Structure 1
Amino acid sequence: MTGREGGKKKPLKAPKKKNANADVDEDDKAFQQKQKEEQRKLKELKDKAAKGGPLVSGGIKKSGKK
């Protein structure tokens, strides 16, 4: 038994993937476009929220002196 024979044999080429856009009708395209717009709007809102800084100031601030 040589080292080449051991283990699971793999196929030489991966099977070709089916083209997903071939069966998509107009309703599906509109739905996908709507979802992309929503994702873009959510990302913009998240970016704006991140730039704004902390939402809660934390109440009374201590000076550190005693």
Structure 2
Amino acid sequence: MSGREGGKKKLKAPKKESKELDDDDLALKQKLKEQQKALQEAKAKASQKGPLTSGGIKKSGKK
């Protein structure tokens, strides 16, 4: 008994037609690209510095 017995072969999804982009779509793509670039720059800046926390768990001086 094979696992495909009696089943239908799944067809590939049809390729989506490339729709023309209007000004709103282009503006949205540009905005997303700028946000991604800003995020990458922020990551680069953050990685240059050390970790923000240096002590871990802080203990009081009391015993």
> What's the TM-score bracket when you normalise by the shorter of the two chains?
0.5 to 0.7
Kindly provide the CA deviation profile for residues 2-60 of structure 1, in whole angstroms up to 9, marking residues without a partner as x.
6486152213x41322135x14211111111111111111121012102211123328x
Match of 2:50 among 50, 53, 63: 53
Taking only aligned residues, the RMSD between alpha carbons, in angstroms, comes to 2.7
Partner residue in 2 for 1:17: 15
1:35 maps onto 2:32 in alignment = yes
TM-score w.r.t. structure 1 length? Answer: 0.60
Query: What stretches of structure 1 of length at least 5 have no aligned partner?
Result: 60-66
Query: What stretches of structure 2 of length at least 5 have no aligned partner?
Result: 57-63
For 1:6 and 1:50, locate their aligned partners in 2 and report how far apart those are by CA, in whole Å: 54
| 3-state SS of 1:49 partner | helix
For 1:36 and 1:58, locate their aligned partners in 2 and report how far apart those are by CA, in whole Å: 37
Return the structure number with greater helix share: 1
Alignment length (residue pairs): 56
> Residue 43 of structure 1 aligns to which amino acid in structure 2?
Q
| 3-state SS of 1:33 partner | helix
State the percentage of identical aligned residues.
Answer: 45
